[in-house]
């Protein structure tokens, strides 16, 4: 083993070979004898009631076991699901098959269970359903007059409502030397992870269940199932070792989990329910949002007035909120501010967190308005941001635990070649292509939640570490193994990290870019406790060479505890284990240091730089070059972290230029529920992309000094693209995605 720590090394994913060879098993791939298949029937109307549902023909088909509807479903505990789900917003959560009421288009209204998937799907087409329809509203723009403040609830702890106004915004704005304003809109977006949502529930007898679920939180699914079905939590085991992408769609338990468990308990047989691609559009989305900004500055570029308002969609039964308007004053200090956020309840399913929820929405409006202000002032966009640079989060009056955004601007601009930009719009071209440069700032809050981890040193001297956390493709397995290995000074080959199982120590849902800081800190705490145990036992050995030595005076390396002052003085793990006559174990909890942390704002920052080419005749936009400079504390694994940023950048391109779910408001229905018509970038759309990690030390945020990178990669990209398009064409397009027809 090298003397160099494993933390900070670009180690390839430990499970990568299993995934690319198809060996890794996902939730819909666990086969057991007697497995039954469920197929979901979804509502074809948007609002009303089921007046009749005839299942006779379907149930008469050989091999069809049952058709579950609201009329024959088993009675349930129906514990308030808001408290059964770590990610539930305020309101009354949707209950599948609860009543005849239809709340949204695509609502699950029946489950056909059969011996094969194909038979279940065919039988579903034989179920006859009649409805009584009611008037509905699904158009945000047509219902602005219904906008209201969100209900307060537990969710506001993680998603704070806008800060109170400061100063006199209207006067300050009217008196400003330069003003920039805009109305911004983006429509509905859906997550579309590669792996379909699937649950395989195995009935073990006596009310015990083993569940293979596509989820971003095994314990969240366990709590949900236990509460809804009135089961003891210890009788419900949820396993999710591999998750084929989540992006937020698996934070809440989705309805296929409910239906699979319900059928398995009632039939006392294993049941798998897998949703088809079009059904992935029936349980959550990034909500369409209308934003308005007004920024004012003095002649030197100092911002004096900030107004940012947003109106977003929610369902009729829950108040889903996002942090959209809070970011501007976190980035840019102003003495006069007015931030507003409202919701419009519509006849849709509740929106759902989607990579950088609120942040990627708000940044479009904030950073495009800043770009507009830079042109009004004739100041370089980077210079304007530096003029308004803040070491303190003025929105709450707290310093940042660390902030190297200035270096993101400097290093990013240097590597990108920002100085080659002619600031005049439509001044740069290559042949018939207009060339534009754009940049934007990114910010994402860095959080830490409570978590537990277990560490065991086996009698063979191997380290086993475990946590219930999932790995949704972010490299969690690899990173946690690195952290654990460093704690005991062992090579990677001697460390096994087990995860994705609700029977393991507690971990919250994987999301919000807090997993490394949360679970990594728990592993570090468990490793620290195990080191203490081992050191104490080493000193207890008769004639121990480490007698009279303190823990701070030794290092753990390659299975030995070694004196720093005299490396000849050492005790091996094997000697300790022999004396102990077996494995040594510890389970520890990591809690955020709330009192210390509340004195600081904690965030990762980025600067995104983009070059676009716009075909002057056709209006087609190509992102030819992009670079993101990121300050995110201690980077545990630069290789997996870089992949996270690149993934966010790809999604930023998608958000700005491709991605939208089209609604027919007369039908109240999404019309492009497939990957053929829901446009996302393909390889041919992606060109030169680069990532810089700016050195940032943070001794406050957590013991690892780490900040998450899952979301910060997407936040700055969409506005940087919009700003580059303005520079190329002189057209300020404030609606995402930006279609070629608006540039013709």
Beta-strand relationship, 178-186 and 64-68:
unpaired
Q: Which residue has the tokens 């998937």?
A: 117
Establish whether 711 is a catalytic residue. Answer: yes
For 91, which DSSP code?
Answer: B
Catalytic residue chosen out of the listed positions 15, 445, 487, 711: 711
Helix axes 521-540, 476-488, angle to 10 degrees: 30
* Bridge-based pairing state of the strands 178-186 and 735-736: parallel
SS3 assignment, position 661: strand
| Rounded Cα–Cα distance for residues 169 and 162 (Å) | 15
Please classify residue 432 by burial: count the beta carbons closer than 10 Å to its beta carbon, then call 0-12 exposed, 13-18 middle and 19+ buried: exposed
From the list 184, 394, 161, the residue with the least C-alpha distance to 294 is: 184
| Owner of token pair 């007698």 | 547
Evaluated on CA atoms 548, 551, 553, 554, the torsion sign reads positive
The answer to whether residues 329 and 395 touch, using CB atoms and an 8 Å cutoff, is: yes
For residue 14, the Cα-to-chain-centroid distance in whole angstroms is 22
Helix (H, G, I), strand (E, B) or coil at 235: helix
- Whole-angstrom Cα distance, residue 637 to residue 634? 9
Asked if 636 and 704 touch (Cβ cutoff 8 Å), the reply is yes
Torsion of CA 692, 698, 701, 704, to 10 degrees: 80
**Separation CA 635–CA 608 (nearest Å):** 18
Neighbours of 382 (CB within 10 A): 19
Whole-angstrom Cα distance, residue 325 to residue 339? 6
Beta-carbon neighbour count of residue 21 at 10 Å? Answer: 8
Longest dimension (CA), the chain: 86
Sheet holding 463-466, edge to edge: 495-498, 463-466, 451-457, 584-590
Alpha-carbon distance of 82 to 93, in angstroms, equals: 6
Question: Given the DSSP bridges, would you call strands 128-133 and 688-693 parallel, antiparallel or unpaired?
Answer: unpaired
C-alpha span between 252 and 243 (Å, rounded): 14
The 3-class SS string of 364-377 reads HHHHHHHHHHHHHH
CB contact at 8 A, 138 and 46: yes
- Closest by CA to 263, choosing from 252, 274, 277, is 274
Q: Give the C-alpha separation, 655 to 88, whole Å.
A: 25
Tallying the residues shown for the chain, one arrives at: 744
Q: Is 512 left (phi over 0), alpha (psi -120 to 50) or beta?
A: left
Residue 445 and residue 142: Cα distance in Å, rounded? 33
Rounded to whole angstroms, the Cα distance separating 619 from 562 reads 67
Question: Residues 516, 475, 460, CA angle at the centre, nearest 5°?
Answer: 85
Which residues are part of the catalytic machinery?
A: 711
């Amino acid at each position: 083993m090298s003397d160099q720590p494993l933390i900070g090394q670009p180690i390839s994913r430990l499970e990568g070979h299993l995934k690319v060879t198809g060996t890794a098993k996902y939730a819909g791939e666990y086969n057991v004898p007697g497995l039954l298949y469920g197929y979901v029937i979804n509502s074809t109307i948007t609002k009303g009631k089921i007046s009749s549902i005839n299942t006779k023909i379907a149930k008469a088909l050989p091999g069809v076991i049952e058709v579950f509807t609201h009329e024959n479903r088993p009675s349930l505990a129906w514990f308030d699901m808001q408290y059964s789900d770590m990610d539930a917003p305020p309101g009354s959560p949707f209950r599948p098959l609860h009543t005849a009421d239809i709340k949204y288009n695509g609502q699950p209204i029946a489950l056909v269970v059969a011996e094969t998937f194909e038979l279940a799907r065919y039988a579903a087409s034989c179920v006859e359903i009649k409805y009584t329809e009611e008037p509905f509203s699904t158009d945000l723009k047509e219902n602005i007059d219904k906008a209201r403040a969100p209900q307060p609830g537990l969710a506001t702890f993680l998603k704070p409502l806008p800060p109170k106004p400061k100063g006199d915004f209207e006067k300050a704005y009217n008196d400003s030397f330069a003003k920039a304003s805009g109305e911004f809109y983006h429509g509905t977006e859906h997550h579309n992870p590669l792996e379909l949502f699937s649950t395989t529930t195995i009935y073990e007898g006596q009310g015990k269940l083993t569940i293979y679920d596509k989820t971003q939180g095994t314990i969240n699914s366990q709590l949900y199932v236990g509460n809804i079905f009135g089961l003891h939590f210890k009788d419900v085991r949820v396993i999710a070792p591999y998750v084929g992408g989540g992006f937020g769609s698996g934070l809440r338990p989705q309805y296929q989990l409910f239906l699979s468990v319900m059928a398995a308990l009632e039939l006392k047989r294993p049941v798998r329910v897998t949703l088809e691609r079009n059904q992935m559009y029936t349980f959550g989305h990034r909500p369409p949002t209308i934003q308005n900004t007004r920024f004012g500055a003095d002649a030197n570029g100092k911002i004096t007035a900030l107004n940012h308002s947003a109106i977003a969609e929610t369902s009729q039964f829950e108040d889903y909120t996002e942090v959209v308007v809070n970011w501007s004053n976190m980035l840019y200090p102003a003495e006069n501010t007015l931030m507003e956020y409202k919701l419009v309840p519509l006849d849709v399913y509740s929106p759902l967190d989607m990579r950088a929820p609120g942040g990627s929405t708000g940044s479009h409006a904030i950073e495009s308005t800043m770009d507009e202000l830079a042109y009004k002032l004739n100041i370089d966009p980077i210079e304007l941001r530096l003029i308004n640079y803040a070491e303190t989060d003025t929105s709450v009056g707290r310093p940042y635990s660390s902030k190297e955004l200035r270096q993101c601007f400097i290093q990013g601009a240097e590597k990108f070649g920002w100085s080659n930009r002619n600031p005049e719009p439509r001044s740069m071209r290559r042949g018939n292509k207009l060339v534009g440069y754009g940049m934007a700032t990114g910010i994402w809050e860095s959080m830490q939640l409570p978590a537990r981890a277990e560490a065991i040193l086996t009698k063979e001297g191997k380290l086993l570490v475990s946590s219930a956390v999932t790995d949704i493709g972010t490299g969690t397995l690899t990173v946690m193994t690195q952290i654990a290995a460093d704690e005991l000074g062992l090579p990677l080959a001697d460390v096994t990290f087990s995860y994705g199982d609700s029977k393991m120590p507690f971990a919250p849902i994987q999301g919000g870019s807090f997993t490394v800081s949360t679970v990594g800190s728990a592993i570090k705490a468990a490793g620290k406790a195990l080191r203490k145990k081992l050191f104490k036992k080493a000193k207890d050995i008769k004639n121990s060479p480490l007698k009279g030595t303190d823990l701070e005076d030794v290092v753990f390396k390659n299975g030995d505890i070694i004196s720093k002052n005299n490396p000849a003085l050492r005790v091996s793990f094997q000697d300790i284990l022999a004396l102990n006559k077996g494995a040594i174990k510890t389970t520890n909890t990591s809690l955020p240091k709330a009192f210390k942390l509340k004195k600081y704002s904690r965030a990762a920052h980025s600067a995104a730089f983009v070059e676009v080419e716009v075909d002057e005749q056709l209006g087609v936009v190509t992102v030819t070059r992009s670079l993101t400079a990121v300050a995110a504390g201690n980077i545990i694994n630069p290789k997996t972290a870089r992949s996270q940023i690149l993934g966010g950048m790809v999604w930023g391109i998608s958000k700005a230029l491709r991605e939208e779910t089209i609604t027919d408001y007369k039908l109240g229905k999404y019309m492009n529920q497939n990957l053929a018509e829901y446009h996302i970038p393909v390889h041919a759309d992606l060109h030169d992309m680069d990532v810089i990690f700016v050195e940032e030390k943070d001794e406050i945020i957590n013991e690892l000094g780490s900040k998450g990178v899952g979301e910060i990669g997407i936040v700055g990209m969409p506005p940087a693209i919009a700003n580059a398009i303005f520079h190329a064409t002189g057209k300020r397009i404030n609606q995402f995605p930006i279609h070629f027809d608006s540039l013709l």
